[in-house]
Homo-oligomer: A and B are copies of this chain.
């Protein structure tokens, strides 16, 4: 049996699904993604973060503002009243990789997975933009949902590291 794509009605037409009868609960989602950089870009970011030219500071602001644009960007996403949002970075210097982790929460009728994933995407694209003059071979990779709590479907853990963990910044 083929599972149903809920964003289409029985005529196969795209719809924004009905959430008006869902229950208002606290919902949280954490998503993560990675950008792979060359050594010179990695060094430039680290120098900048330490001293001046704060690439990750700009990317954090962009990520948080991007979260608020999710329903403008993703056609079938519901507009929602985000209650909390943060973007963290994990720099793995030796691997020349930076992880962006976005946590989004609200008390509402619908989940915030897409918000967290959009925040990660915009934060990583911003790092790319600021480094592209010195590196054209960067790669944005492994964007996925780490954890999701609240709502009818309950808790989902997609990343072993989040089994026990609380959302950051709570």
Interface of A toward B, CB cutoff 8 Å: 2-9, 11-20, 26, 33, 40-41, 43-45, 47-48, 51-55, 57-58, 60-62, 64-66, 68-69, 71-88, 105-109, 113-114, 117-118, 121-122, 125-126, 128-134, 136-145, 148, 156, 158, 169-170
Contacts and interface: CB of A to CB of B under 8 A. Distances in A.
A11 B3 CA distance: 28
Nearest to A18: B84
28 contacts: A3-B134, A4-B44, A8-B48, A9-B169, A13-B52, A14-B61, A16-B86, A19-B83, A20-B83, A20-B84, A33-B140, A54-B57, A57-B58, A62-B75, A64-B75, A65-B72, A68-B79, A69-B72, A73-B125, A76-B129, A76-B130, A78-B81, A78-B83, A83-B109, A118-B125, A121-B125, A137-B145, A141-B142
Contacts of A5: 44-45, 48, 53, 55, 130-131, 133-134
Contacts of A85: 15-16
A142 B144 contact: no
Given A85-B15, A86-B9, A126 B79 contact: no
Given A11-B52, A136-B158, 5 more contacts: A18-B170, A20-B106, A74-B125, A77-B129, A139-B144
A86 B143 contact: no
A43 B77 CA distance: 22
